[in-house]
Protein backbone atom coordinates (compact mmCIF):
# COMPACT_ATOMS: atom_id res chain seq x y z
CA UNK A 1 0.00 0.00 0.00
CA UNK A 2 1.50 3.38 -0.96
CA UNK A 3 2.42 5.84 1.75
CA UNK A 4 0.15 8.86 2.08
CA UNK A 5 3.26 11.01 1.92
CA UNK A 6 4.39 9.61 -1.41
CA UNK A 7 3.92 11.87 -4.40
CA UNK A 8 2.22 10.11 -7.29
CA UNK A 9 3.30 10.43 -10.87
CA UNK A 10 0.10 11.06 -12.82
CA UNK A 11 -0.18 9.98 -16.44
CA UNK A 12 -1.99 13.02 -17.80
CA UNK A 13 -3.64 13.46 -21.16
CA UNK A 14 -2.14 16.26 -23.23
CA UNK A 15 -3.93 19.57 -23.54
CA UNK A 16 -4.59 21.13 -26.91
CA UNK A 17 -4.58 24.80 -27.78
CA UNK A 18 -6.78 23.90 -30.78
CA UNK A 19 -9.50 22.55 -28.48
CA UNK A 20 -12.18 25.20 -27.78
CA UNK A 21 -12.31 24.10 -24.12
CA UNK A 22 -10.30 26.53 -21.96
CA UNK A 23 -6.86 25.20 -21.02
CA UNK A 24 -7.52 25.23 -17.26
CA UNK A 25 -10.62 23.08 -17.81
CA UNK A 26 -8.59 20.66 -19.94
CA UNK A 27 -5.99 20.44 -17.17
CA UNK A 28 -8.70 19.86 -14.55
CA UNK A 29 -10.25 17.15 -16.75
CA UNK A 30 -6.87 15.43 -17.17
CA UNK A 31 -6.29 15.36 -13.39
CA UNK A 32 -9.90 14.32 -12.75
CA UNK A 33 -9.50 11.46 -15.25
CA UNK A 34 -6.23 10.30 -13.64
CA UNK A 35 -7.94 10.21 -10.22
CA UNK A 36 -10.94 8.42 -11.72
CA UNK A 37 -8.63 5.83 -13.29
CA UNK A 38 -7.15 5.10 -9.86
CA UNK A 39 -3.76 6.69 -10.45
CA UNK A 40 -4.17 8.55 -7.14
CA UNK A 41 -6.73 8.13 -4.39
CA UNK A 42 -7.82 9.91 -1.22
CA UNK A 43 -4.81 10.82 0.90
CA UNK A 44 -2.31 10.61 -1.95
CA UNK A 45 -0.15 13.59 -2.87
CA UNK A 46 0.13 14.71 -6.47
CA UNK A 47 2.89 16.79 -8.11
CA UNK A 48 3.16 20.50 -7.49
CA UNK A 49 1.68 23.03 -9.91
CA UNK A 50 4.99 23.93 -11.52
CA UNK A 51 5.76 20.26 -12.22
CA UNK A 52 2.30 19.65 -13.67
CA UNK A 53 2.69 22.78 -15.82
CA UNK A 54 5.99 21.51 -17.20
CA UNK A 55 4.58 18.07 -18.01
CA UNK A 56 1.48 19.53 -19.69
CA UNK A 57 3.28 22.38 -21.45
CA UNK A 58 1.08 25.11 -19.98
CA UNK A 59 1.55 28.12 -17.74
CA UNK A 60 1.73 27.51 -13.98
CA UNK A 61 -1.22 29.89 -13.47
CA UNK A 62 -3.32 27.71 -15.78
CA UNK A 63 -2.56 24.72 -13.56
CA UNK A 64 -3.28 26.71 -10.40
CA UNK A 65 -6.67 27.71 -11.80
CA UNK A 66 -7.43 24.04 -12.57
CA UNK A 67 -6.33 23.00 -9.08
CA UNK A 68 -8.62 25.60 -7.49
CA UNK A 69 -11.49 24.25 -9.59
CA UNK A 70 -10.78 20.70 -8.38
CA UNK A 71 -10.45 21.96 -4.81
CA UNK A 72 -13.88 23.59 -5.12
CA UNK A 73 -15.27 20.27 -6.40
CA UNK A 74 -13.95 18.54 -3.29
CA UNK A 75 -11.35 16.45 -5.14
CA UNK A 76 -8.16 18.16 -3.91
CA UNK A 77 -6.82 19.91 -0.87
CA UNK A 78 -4.08 22.46 -1.44
CA UNK A 79 -2.09 22.76 1.75
CA UNK A 80 0.65 24.96 3.03
CA UNK A 81 4.00 24.36 1.45
CA UNK A 82 2.24 23.69 -1.86
CA UNK A 83 1.36 20.11 -0.93
CA UNK A 84 -1.56 18.93 -3.06
CA UNK A 85 -3.51 15.98 -1.73
CA UNK A 86 -6.40 14.02 -3.21
CA UNK A 87 -9.32 14.32 -0.78
CA UNK A 88 -12.28 12.99 -2.68
CA UNK A 89 -13.52 10.80 -5.46
CA UNK A 90 -14.85 11.84 -8.86
CA UNK A 91 -18.33 10.84 -7.73
CA UNK A 92 -18.16 13.15 -4.71
CA UNK A 93 -16.81 15.92 -6.91
CA UNK A 94 -19.72 15.49 -9.31
CA UNK A 95 -22.24 15.69 -6.46
CA UNK A 96 -20.58 18.84 -5.11
CA UNK A 97 -20.57 20.44 -8.58
CA UNK A 98 -24.25 19.66 -9.12
CA UNK A 99 -25.11 20.90 -5.63
CA UNK A 100 -23.37 24.20 -6.37
CA UNK A 101 -25.38 24.43 -9.59
CA UNK A 102 -28.61 23.82 -7.65
CA UNK A 103 -27.72 26.48 -5.07
CA UNK A 104 -26.99 29.02 -7.81
CA UNK A 105 -30.19 28.06 -9.69
CA UNK A 106 -32.27 28.51 -6.52
CA UNK A 107 -30.59 31.85 -5.67
CA UNK A 108 -31.38 33.25 -9.12
CA UNK A 109 -35.02 32.35 -8.50
CA UNK A 110 -35.16 34.05 -5.12
CA UNK A 111 -34.96 31.05 -2.78
CA UNK A 112 -33.18 31.56 0.52
CA UNK A 113 -30.77 29.05 2.00
CA UNK A 114 -33.36 27.87 4.53
CA UNK A 115 -36.03 27.49 1.86
CA UNK A 116 -33.69 25.39 -0.27
CA UNK A 117 -32.72 23.21 2.69
CA UNK A 118 -36.42 22.78 3.48
CA UNK A 119 -37.15 21.69 -0.09
CA UNK A 120 -34.33 19.14 -0.01
CA UNK A 121 -35.45 17.88 3.40
CA UNK A 122 -39.00 17.40 2.09
CA UNK A 123 -37.72 15.36 -0.86
CA UNK A 124 -35.41 13.05 1.05
Q: What is the pTM of this model?
A: 0.69
Contact (Cβ atoms closer than 8 angstroms) between residue 106 and residue 93: no
Distance (Å, whole) CA 119 – CA 100: 15
Distance (Å, whole) CA 18 – CA 85: 30
What number of other Cβ atoms are within 10 A of residue 70's Cβ?
A: 24
Instruction: pLDDT tens for the chain, 124 residues: list them.
Output: 334 445 556 667 778 788 888 999 999 988 888 888 888 888 889 899 999 999 888 999 999 999 999 998 888 998 877 789 998 877 777 787 788 889 999 999 999 999 999 999 999 8
What is 23-88's CATH topology?
Arc Repressor Mutant, subunit A (1.10.10)
Helix (H, G, I), strand (E, B) or coil at 87: coil
- Which residues, including other chains, have CB under 8 Å from residue 77's CB and lie 6 or more apart? 71, 84, 85, 87
| pLDDT computed for residue 5 by the predictor | 47
| pLDDT computed for residue 58 by the predictor | 93
Amino acid sequence: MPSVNAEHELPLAAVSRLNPTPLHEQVAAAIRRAISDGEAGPGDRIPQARDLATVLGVNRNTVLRALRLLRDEGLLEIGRGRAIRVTGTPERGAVIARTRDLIEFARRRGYSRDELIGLIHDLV
